[in-house]
Amino acid sequence: MSETDNTAHSANNPSHRYTSALAQTIELRWQQKWASDGTFNAPNPAGPLADPAAIAERGDKLFVLDMFPYPSGVGLHVGHPLGFIGTDVYARFQRMAGRNVIYTMGFDAFGLPAEQYAVQTGTHPAVTTNANIENMRRQLRRLGLSHDMRRSVSTTDPEYYRWTQWIFSQVFNAWYDEDAERARPIDELVAEFEAGDRVALDERSWSELSLAERNEVIDDHRLAYVSEAPVNWCPGLGTVVANEEVTADGRSDRGNFPVFKRNMRQWMMRITAYADRLIDDLELLDWTEAIKAMQRNWIGRSHGAKVDFESSAGTITVFTTRPDTLFGTSFMVLSPEHPYVDELAGLDKADEIAAYRKQAAAKKDFERQDDTREKTGVFTGAYATNPVNGEQIPVWIADYVLMGYGTGAIMAVPCGDSRDFEFARKFDLAIPAIQTPPPAWFEERSLDVTLDTRQWPEAFVGDAPYVNSSNGELSLDGLVNKAEGIAVMNAWLERTNAGEATINYKLRDWLFSRQRYWGEPFPIVYDADGNPHTLPDSMLPVELPETESFSPRTFDDDDEFSSPESPLDRLQDWVNVELDLGDGVQIYRRDTNVMPQWAGSCWYEMRYLDPTNTETFCDPAVEEYWMGPQTHIRPDHPGGVDLYVGGVEHAVLHLLYARFWHKVLFDLGHVSSKEPYARLFNQGYIMAAAFKDEREIYVEATEVEGSEDAGFTHDGQPVAREWGKMGKSLKNAVSPDEMYEEYGADTLRLYEMAMGPLDASRPWETRDVVGMYRFLQRLWRNMVDEETGACTVVDTAPDDATDKLLHRTIDVVRTEMDALRFNTAIAKLIELNNAVTKLDATPRAVAEAMIRMLAPLVPHITEELWRKLGHDDTVAYIEFPTADPALLVDDTIEVPVQVNGKVRGRITISADADRATTEAAALADEKVIAALAGNAPKKVIVVPGRMVNIVV
């Protein structure tokens, strides 16, 4: 206890003051009671948690969901629960507004930290994970979150990952039907091949293909498949990682190790098949534009054309978004990794090219992407034919063309593309003009209008009349916009078989396997011929085998040519297994990869709905009740969670993967919702001051002394302040335990909700917390005698002014709570309480309404007050107050009168005064007359009930 302690331990406080000690007593008692009563259990329409009577009693369903946390060992700081408190307030409010609310919390518990800890300590990750989960549950319970604890799950529970494996099998045994634009079971594909409705490979019929050929065709269609492809190999982690997990500078987002592109055999998920739907269905979602933009950007759909250029090495296909500029193509550029490079390389150029390729390969991706770099490249010595005019154009290689995008080859149009322009200038290549830029373009560059591109300082990009763009069959000359030019060119390309309109995506298939221990094993075994088989449902879950050595073999960070070795590979007793998969008992080899961290979070919200179901991952009737489309909101409502709250950092990882899996499950008929999360809300972060000493090392923020004006010091040494996300790494975390100790959970909740809008990041200021504490103390004092603990609420009716204020407050608070604007709701409630403080005694009607309005925000103190007022039921399901419309309007109102837009007087008039009456009253006001100074009004604007503006 410090000397500045403000708790009940100070001897002079009245014994029934709302102090932190009393708050803690109240909070722990109610948390215990809610748990033992199952207060927040939500009824299901069917299955083990079914309670049809309760369903009938409650109103419409509401699914409120938090992004579930990773159960870290270090515990929570006050920045973590911001979103959780927000969802809890909302869930509690909606329960009181009559909704049947489902709200719980699970744990996303597979992943690297637990595994790394296990490697260090030798403790099995399941042990530490479960301990961390228990600790986190305790911390969340201390906040008073109204979770239905029966529904809490962990992704690491075998009964949970059994269904993660089952869903994987569903994905594996499905293919994407491009015509139907949806996934279908793989059996239906086989049936179509067998019936001859679909051509598998070549002119041979299905029955003529060998078994191996058939398997290959089928595997080529699966939504989960093994492929030998360039992947991100991270020697420092000993595993491959997904594109989404590689940072812009070519390192792993976990651990920050270098990542190398390598060809390896790995599991992939065909998320690219869903690229269009993942973009298009964003329209149906109530998400912020920022997140939608990030997803669109990540998927990177661009419309364009593929164009074929003939060369000595064969046809070089390029992707371009500007086929209309084909007449301006004066050279081609291939990525150094392009497969045709060797063939194209002239004998005299071979050494030069080999040297350039080697140099390019030595560079990391991120180095090649530094666009401030000067262009480099090498001429191959070969030429290709421009299909529109038969011109022979030189073929170069350069590292500004990336093998990973489009076809790895481009047609260079230097007059219309800044990169090609730069390249052409550097290597003195032709820059034919094909558009006449508008005069303004030349003016801005202090040039006369000219088509002599030697005078142009840069490429022209945009709409402008085409010139020099015709051949015998085709002319763009005279057209003025590119949409038209593209349409004409695409038609010609298709007519002459020189190319076709196409759509290109940045999105790549999802690399789904990891060579680690602490993840879901694949439900896959391989037969003697190496063909993969999914295990039947009866053999799930495939449990992680016990072992002492959890670590994958890791390598030197820069050991690019090392190879992954999964920990499961070492467990040969587990790997080799005798099974009867229908063809008699045979020996199979298990897959030794595990799934990535993101697998378990792709569907967890559905397990909350039906957590104990052993027959299926979620009963369809239960899924439809909680997640089915809400067509009363919008006719094309996609279904899904009604409110999903979490940080913006999952914009392209979890949120993209989860949408993809959900759509597969939708296509296969397992769920009624097209999308998992109908409404997404991104909470802000709590920031805190962090301090660095002169060595640029962070020092413990709590030990820093001084002020902004006087300067900050740590141990007498000057330190510099900066702002950052609260956390361990910046040494600026504030523990919730300190807040409970000093104020209690209700004050902490209220402070976090009051400090700003839920979606805004804001700095934590411990010294500000006391404001909310004082508010709760006043609230308590308005209803409880601090000396005796007796209830002081009186049964007399409130006076008119108080009654009106009460109902106006109710009106605003209801609206604000519903819109997640808790900060403004709190301000109104403080205002009301301040008014009540001035009364001689608090009328019961006011007290009870205040308790009900505050119950979602500060559930413990309100339960206690509700009881003191003589009720013996929980306030959690008491109806939220509704304003009496009659009390929202005043008989008379004060209206400002402006003269030329400046307020010069105020008039008090009847609230329903019409225009003429208002105007007359305004013109009669003394101050207004004075302000007019005898000038006759030119115009009088009256907004009835609002204001008057007189223009002179």
Partner RNA sequence: GCCGACGUAGCCCAAUUGGCAGAGGCACAGGCUUUAGGUGCCUGUCAGUGCGGGUUCGAGUCCCGCCGUCGGCACCA
Q: Helix or strand or coil: residue 888?
A: coil
Handedness of CA 180, 185, 188, 190 (dihedral sign): positive
Q: What does the DSSP assignment read for 697-741?
A: -EE-GGG-EEETTTEEEETTEEEEEEEEE-STTTT----HHHHHH
Interaction residues for RNA, span 500-539 (CB under 7 A): 504, 506
Site string for RNA, 831-850 (x = CB under 7 A): x--x--x-------------
> Partners of 65 in the beta sheet?
644
Site string for RNA, 639-668 (x = CB under 7 A): ---------x--xx----------------
Question: Could you say whether residue 410 binds RNA (CB under 7 A)?
Answer: yes
* The amino acid at 551: S
Closer residue to RNA in complex, CB, 99/306: 306
Interaction residues for RNA, span 248-277 (CB under 7 A): 248
Site string for RNA, 103-142 (x = CB under 7 A): ----------------------------------------
Could you tell me which stretch among 207-215, 278-286, 668-676, 751-759 binds RNA (CB under 7 A)? 751-759
Task: Give ∠ CA 331-333-334 in degrees, rounded to 5.
Answer: 145
With beta carbons less than 8 A apart as the criterion, state whether 135 and 107 touch: no
* The amino acid at 288: T
Distance, in Å, from the CA atom of 636 to the CA atom of 830, rounded to the nearest integer, reads 41
Q: How far is the CB of 519 from RNA (least distance, A)?
A: 23
Q: How far is the CB of 57 from RNA (least distance, A)?
A: 34
Q: What is the token pair recorded at 274?
A: 């869903």
| Binds RNA by CB under 7 A, chosen from 135, 302, 312, 713 | 302
Closer residue to RNA in complex, CB, 178/370: 370
Q: How far is the CB of 759 from RNA (least distance, A)?
A: 8
Closer residue to RNA in complex, CB, 603/764: 764
| Binds RNA by CB under 7 A, chosen from 63, 90, 319, 574 | 319
Q: How far is the CB of 774 from RNA (least distance, A)?
A: 4
Q: What is the token pair recorded at 671?
A: 């769920």
| Binds RNA by CB under 7 A, chosen from 46, 217, 284, 294 | 294
| Binds RNA by CB under 7 A, chosen from 767, 800, 840, 886 | 767
Residue 41's contacts (CB-CB under 8 Å, 6 or more residues apart) are 49, 148, 150
Question: Could you say whether residue 400 binds RNA (CB under 7 A)?
Answer: yes
Write out the E strands in 555-657: 576-580, 585-590, 643-646
Question: Could you say whether residue 405 binds RNA (CB under 7 A)?
Answer: yes
| Binds RNA by CB under 7 A, chosen from 37, 134, 208, 768 | 768
> Partners of 466 in the beta sheet?
435
Could you tell me which stretch among 159-167, 631-639, 661-669, 762-770 binds RNA (CB under 7 A)? 762-770
Q: What is the token pair recorded at 949?
A: 């503006």
> Partners of 503 in the beta sheet?
303
Radius of gyration of the chain (CA): 34
* The amino acid at 255: G
Q: How far is the CB of 686 from RNA (least distance, A)?
A: 10
Question: Could you say whether residue 763 binds RNA (CB under 7 A)?
Answer: yes
Length of the chain: 952
* The amino acid at 890: D
Q: How far is the CB of 55 from RNA (least distance, A)?
A: 36
Residue 702's contacts (CB-CB under 8 Å, 6 or more residues apart) are none
Q: How far is the CB of 208 from RNA (least distance, A)?
A: 39
Residue 608's contacts (CB-CB under 8 Å, 6 or more residues apart) are 65, 102, 104, 106, 151, 152, 153
Could you tell me which stretch among 320-328, 433-441, 455-463, 521-529 binds RNA (CB under 7 A)? 320-328
Interaction residues for RNA, span 869-908 (CB under 7 A): 894, 896, 898, 900-901, 903, 906
| Binds RNA by CB under 7 A, chosen from 256, 297, 315, 908 | 297
Question: Could you say whether residue 408 binds RNA (CB under 7 A)?
Answer: yes
Q: What is the token pair recorded at 298?
A: 């990540």
Question: Could you say whether residue 406 binds RNA (CB under 7 A)?
Answer: yes
Q: How far is CA 102 from CA 106, 377, 414, 687, 822, in A?
A: 13, 60, 59, 30, 20
Q: How far is the CB of 22 from RNA (least distance, A)?
A: 12
Closer residue to RNA in complex, CB, 14/122: 14
Question: Could you say whether residue 6 binds RNA (CB under 7 A)?
Answer: yes
Closer residue to RNA in complex, CB, 246/268: 246
| Binds RNA by CB under 7 A, chosen from 137, 150, 553, 762 | 762
Q: How far is the CB of 371 from RNA (least distance, A)?
A: 4
Where helices occur in 616-653 by DSSP H, the ranges are 620-627
Interaction residues for RNA, span 16-75 (CB under 7 A): none
| Binds RNA by CB under 7 A, chosen from 311, 335, 554, 747 | 335
Distance, in Å, from the CA atom of 165 to the CA atom of 179, rounded to the nearest integer, reads 28
Question: Could you say whether residue 392 binds RNA (CB under 7 A)?
Answer: no
| Binds RNA by CB under 7 A, chosen from 61, 151, 277, 828 | 828
Q: How far is the CB of 373 from RNA (least distance, A)?
A: 5
| Binds RNA by CB under 7 A, chosen from 425, 679, 778, 927 | 778
Site string for RNA, 451-480 (x = CB under 7 A): ------------------------------
Closer residue to RNA in complex, CB, 221/375: 375
Question: Could you say whether residue 425 binds RNA (CB under 7 A)?
Answer: no
Closest CA relative to residue 216, chosen from 650, 651, 531? 531
Question: Could you say whether residue 13 binds RNA (CB under 7 A)?
Answer: yes
Q: Helix or strand or coil: residue 551?
A: coil
| Binds RNA by CB under 7 A, chosen from 10, 392, 563, 631 | 10
Closer residue to RNA in complex, CB, 510/773: 773
| Binds RNA by CB under 7 A, chosen from 401, 476, 525, 544 | 401
Q: How far is CA 570 from CA 364, 422, 535, 563, 574, in A?
A: 32, 53, 21, 15, 9
Sheet hosting strand 224-234, strand order edge to edge: 239-241, 224-234, 260-269, 510-511
Q: Helix or strand or coil: residue 475?
A: strand
* Helices 770-781 and 859-868: angle between axes, nearest 10 degrees: 10
Question: Could you say whether residue 823 binds RNA (CB under 7 A)?
Answer: yes
Q: What is the token pair recorded at 493?
A: 């390309």
Write phi, then psi, for 762 (nearest 5 degrees): -150, 155
Closer residue to RNA in complex, CB, 92/821: 821
Interaction residues for RNA, span 349-378 (CB under 7 A): 368-371, 373, 375-376
With beta carbons less than 8 A apart as the criterion, state whether 512 and 267 touch: yes
Q: What is the token pair recorded at 357?
A: 């390729």
Question: Could you say whether residue 754 binds RNA (CB under 7 A)?
Answer: yes
Burial of 338-372, coded b for 16+ CB within 10 Å and e otherwise, reads bebbeebbeeebeeebeebbeebeeeebeebeeee
Could you tell me which stretch among 167-175, 294-302, 344-352, 851-859 binds RNA (CB under 7 A)? 294-302
Q: Cis peptide leading into 620, omega within 30 of 0?
A: no
Binding residue count for RNA, defined by CB under 7 A: 92
Burial of 394-422, coded b for 16+ CB within 10 Å and e otherwise, reads bbbbbbbbebebbbbbbbbbbbbbebbbb
247 HSE (CA, 13 A, CB side): 10
| Binds RNA by CB under 7 A, chosen from 61, 147, 214, 322 | 322
Interaction residues for RNA, span 182-201 (CB under 7 A): none
Question: Could you say whether residue 290 binds RNA (CB under 7 A)?
Answer: yes
Interaction residues for RNA, span 908-947 (CB under 7 A): 939, 941, 943, 946-947
Could you tell me which stretch among 286-294, 308-316, 689-697, 698-706 binds RNA (CB under 7 A)? 286-294
Please state whether beta strands 331-334 and 409-412 pair in parallel, antiparallel, or not at all (unpaired). antiparallel
